[in-house]
Amino acid sequence: MPRTTPTKPAIEDGVIIYTHGQHPAEITQQNAALRRYCQAAGLEVVTEFHDLGQRTNGLDMALRAAEDSCVRYLLTTTWPPTALDAEDALSVSEILDHYHTRLVTVDSQPPQEQPDGSTDDGRRQS
């Protein structure tokens, strides 16, 4: 009987990272925050797309990538991007719903420490 090599299980809860901003440094900061979130949550990043300024090419490509059945989440730090009006943002949400992909907004800023040692989100710093 021929030997088979175990294969890596298929990705079931894949993530697309989408960042947008006016400056490359904003995009870099957002990307780092989203990757930290994915790592902490045990999520696998399938691909990532970025838009600078008023461009939406990255978002268009992210929506096409969301067609893949392994993609469950589109993560971003702010929604909607400034390049989209309310109607466009609703259209994006409807497309993601069609592909059973959730739009998740993750805060890219670490919680701010308060004078009493707590953070804005109620956690205490050690």
22-32: pLDDT as tens digits = 999 999 999 99
pLDDT at 125: 41
- Counting Cβ atoms within 10 Å, is residue 110 exposed (0-12), middle (13-18) or buried (19+)? exposed
DSSP-derived pairing of the beta strands 14-21 and 102-105 = unpaired
pLDDT at 112: 58
pLDDT at 1: 56
List, for the chain, all residue ranges whose pLDDT scores fall below the cut of 70: 1-11, 110-126
Any idea which residue has 């400056």 for tokens?
23
Distance CA 17, CA 93 (A): 15
